[in-house]
Amino acid sequence: MEEGPWLEVWFSENQTDHMRISLRVREILHHEKSQYQEILVVDTYELGRTLILDDILQTSEFEEFTYHEMMAHVPMFAHPDPKRVLIVGGGDGGVLREVVRHPTVAEAHLVEIDERVLAATRKYLPSISSAFDHPKARVIVTDGIKHVADNPDSYDIIIVDSTDPMKHALGLFGEDFHRSAFRALREGGIYIQQSESPFYTPHLVRQIQVSLHKLFPKAGLYLGTVPLYPGGLWAYSYGAKGAFDTVVPEERVVERGFAQFGTRYYTPAVHAAAFALPPFVAALQRPEE
């Protein structure tokens, strides 16, 4: 039968009350309601296989590298010697895949509250979840907030790759959690958190910045492009207990073997450029404005 509009299936995410993104769906691969959320994996014409949680687009095969590489490699290269890394959330496995590329890493812990997300991404998004069984990796199914609180002075880097601030993820955006993360970091440790859109959720970016500036000797944010997310421009917040290299020393690039990483978005030059903020974004780092 010739395909017509009556056979088309589309998924639409309401990114704000007045803006949405829609993707034409080739096939629904997986759908379930877990204890925590609704999980949907679809194969789309434009972006390939795509993970959707509670009707919010999370990642796709087509553009996932733009987010995962910037979440992982900026803090990893900003730290002189990261050996033990924690990823809170990140159930698709993309940040974990990038973290274990670093030869300094001895252990990378991924703490995900929803084991059904892990199962779905392992089966349907193997190019993203490929590091779940890596010898450096340990996947832990538990509440990330509790895990951080129970493990003081344990990690060189903590990366919070969470869903939007709602339901079980809401607590990851508050000062109490940031204080626990500060305690869980070793001397010189670095904290990173995805911080949503500077265009559409500037209040959230500023809220995170206020909290991190209270707790960390050094704090701020950097930017990246994520085509799937509202506005395409994405903020990443950081707090550092010691140095945070916004320009990566050349010897570190060579020692870590970056030339063999095979990144498609991140480079040391992009790392430095990510901290060159437009004035309207830079203002979000200054709570008084």
Q: What is the pLDDT of residues 64-83, one digit of tens each?
A: 999 999 999 999 999 999 99
Domain stops at, among 44, 60, 76? 60
Number of domains the chain contains: 2
Regarding whether 94 and 36 lie in a shared domain, the answer is no
Nearest residue to 261 (alpha-carbon basis) of 56, 103, 153: 103
Strands 84-89 and 185-194 turn out to be unpaired
Alpha-carbon gap, residue 91 to 142, rounded angstroms:
12
Pair 83, 156: CB distance under 8 Å: yes
Secondary-structure breakdown of the chain: helix, strand, coil percentages, each rounded to the nearest 5:
30, 30, 35
Regarding whether 267 and 240 lie in a shared domain, the answer is yes
Alpha-carbon gap, residue 258 to 272, rounded angstroms:
15
* Percent of residues, the chain, with pLDDT higher than 90: 90
A 10 A CB-CB count for 106 gives 11
Q: Helix or strand or coil: residue 93? A: coil
Q: What mean pLDDT comes out for the span 113-125?
A: 98
Q: What is the pLDDT of residues 212-268, one digit of tens each?
A: 999 999 999 999 999 999 999 999 999 999 999 999 999 999 999 999 999 999 999
Pair 181, 154: CB distance under 8 Å: no
Domain stops at, among 23, 45, 60? 60
Domain stops at, among 40, 60, 80? 60
Regarding whether 115 and 30 lie in a shared domain, the answer is no
Q: What mean pLDDT comes out for the span 192-204?
A: 95
pTM summary value: 0.95
Q: What mean pLDDT comes out for the span 199-206?
A: 95
Confidence of residue 1 (pLDDT cuts 50, 70, 90): very low
Regarding whether 68 and 53 lie in a shared domain, the answer is no
Residue 8 has pLDDT above 80, yes or no: yes
- Per DSSP, helices labelled H in the chain are 64-78, 94-99, 115-124, 144-149, 175-184, 202-215, 250-255, 268-273, 279-282
Alpha-carbon gap, residue 261 to 35, rounded angstroms:
37
Alpha-carbon gap, residue 163 to 53, rounded angstroms:
8
Decide if 161 is catalytic: yes
At 125, which CATH number? 3.40.50.150
Q: What mean pLDDT comes out for the span 265-278?
A: 98
Q: What is the pLDDT of residues 42-61, one digit of tens each?
A: 999 999 999 999 999 999 99
Pair 42, 49: CB distance under 8 Å: yes
Regarding whether 34 and 102 lie in a shared domain, the answer is no
Cβ contacts of residue 137 below 8 Å, gap of 6+?
A: 96, 100, 108, 109, 110, 131
Range with the poorest average pLDDT among 3-7, 34-38, 222-226, 250-254 = 3-7
Regarding whether 88 and 51 lie in a shared domain, the answer is no
Tokens of 279: 């004035």
> In which domain, by residue range, is 123 found?
64-285
Regarding whether 202 and 101 lie in a shared domain, the answer is yes
At 40, which CATH number? 2.30.140.10
Mean pLDDT for all residues in the chain? 94
Regarding whether 231 and 215 lie in a shared domain, the answer is yes
Which is catalytic among the residues 92, 114, 156, 161?
161
Regarding whether 264 and 157 lie in a shared domain, the answer is yes
Regarding whether 264 and 168 lie in a shared domain, the answer is yes
Q: Helix or strand or coil: residue 217? A: coil
* 71: phi then psi, degrees, rounded to nearest 5: -65, -40
Residue 288 has pLDDT above 90, yes or no: no
Q: Helix or strand or coil: residue 170? A: helix
* Percent of residues, the chain, with pLDDT higher than 70: 96
Alpha-carbon gap, residue 164 to 253, rounded angstroms:
33
Alpha-carbon gap, residue 170 to 217, rounded angstroms:
25
Regarding whether 205 and 68 lie in a shared domain, the answer is yes
Regarding whether 95 and 10 lie in a shared domain, the answer is no
